[in-house]
Amino acid sequence: MTATVATPVTLHAADGYPLHATHYAPHGDPAGRLFVAGATGVPQRFYSRFAQFAAAQGIAVWTLDYRGVGRSRPATLRGFRMDYLDWARLDLAALLAHVEAQGDGPIWMVGHSFGGHAFGLLPGHERVRRVATFATGAGWHGWMPPLERLRVRFLWRVLGPLLVGTTGYLSWSRLGMGEDLPRDLFLQWRRWCQWPRYFFDDPDLPGLAEQFAAVRTPIRAVNALDDRWAPPASRDAFMAAYSNAAVDAVTLEPRALGVASVGHLGYFRPPLASLWQDTLDWLRAG
């Protein structure tokens, strides 16, 4: 596979916030344009191998760090204010506008976890031809296996508030659990995860169901049986909101793919390159 060049890109959201993306350019004219909408607290570098894989097949690819994460993080998260939905309505909107300006050809999106939530919130989503999501679910602990339910409830009720109260933000990195997250985001995330249908059950967010029902873009929603955070039942609960889109729900059995586990992050690791290929073939078929 031919190596691709990764070029840093600086964008500005509609509210002026600076965002850092990366462009993976194919050799020659691109056969299409693809942007990756990442998971909560997962920096864009995690998707670099998938992006390089797609670019090597003639697709121009962009990844992004949302505000507060990775290279788009401010000097300190203490006192940093944001709305969780800004990641879709402002940050991904800026990336989509940039991708649109980079020539002709179809535009596709790959979403990971939150990325599948983001598409229904994205201004201009109708300009995206097809979407493939991985590990997108409703977030409610009731959809999770029993032991994971206990862990998640401990996170929301004890560990998360302790970390936020101590540092002013969700300082996961102190425990080796991943990227730190802003306080506002943690509070919203915890609130929505108390409901079976996630933020659609939030009385303070009227109109979301209608917004998602307006989506007509075909979606492939892929979830593994061993994904403790977003098992297939959780996916189905969330994807029901895309009520007027053709949703192809795909359930993965790890051993059938030749791997011991997939979990919540394994979709974007090299052992599942066959899944990457299948995804690209499905996107291009549209």
**Cα-based distances in Å from 50 to 92, 271, 274:** 19, 11, 11
Residue 178 or residue 40, greater confidence: 40
User: Within a domain: residue 151?
Assistant: no
Q: Which pairs with CB-CB distance under 8 Å and at least 24 residues apart come from 274-278?
A: 275/222, 276/50, 276/53, 276/54
- pLDDT tens, position by position, 94-151: 999 999 999 889 999 999 999 999 999 999 999 999 999 999 999 999 999 999 999 9
User: Within a domain: residue 81?
Assistant: yes
- pLDDT tens, position by position, 34-46: 999 999 999 999 9
Q: Is 285 exposed, middle or buried (0-12, 13-18, 19+ CB in 10 A)?
A: exposed
Contact 135, 230 (CB under 8 A): yes
Across residues 264-278, what is the average pLDDT?
Answer: 96
Q: Is the confidence at residue 162, as pLDDT, over 70?
A: yes
Q: What is the token pair recorded at 235?
A: 């996916």
User: What's the farthest any 2 CA atoms get from each other in the chain?
Assistant: 53
What CATH number does the domain containing 263 carry?
Answer: 3.40.50.1820
CA distance 26 to 278: 19
User: Within a domain: residue 247?
Assistant: yes
The full DSSP string for 156-177 is IIIIHHHHHHHHSEE-GGGGTS
Across residues 203-207, what is the average pLDDT?
Answer: 95
Contact 110, 132 (CB under 8 A): yes
User: Within a domain: residue 77?
Assistant: yes
Q: What is the token pair recorded at 10?
A: 């600086």
User: Within a domain: residue 110?
Assistant: yes
Range of the domain at 50: 5-139+208-285
**Cα-based distances in Å from 148 to 139, 142, 221:** 12, 9, 22
User: Within a domain: residue 225?
Assistant: yes
User: Within a domain: residue 20?
Assistant: yes
Count: domains in the chain: 1
- Global pTM exceeds 0.75: yes
What is the torsional sign of CA 245, 246, 252, 257? negative
User: Within a domain: residue 100?
Assistant: yes
Q: Is the confidence at residue 240, as pLDDT, over 70?
A: yes
- pLDDT tens, position by position, 23-71: 999 998 999 999 999 999 999 999 999 999 999 999 999 999 999 999 9
Contact 22, 6 (CB under 8 A): yes
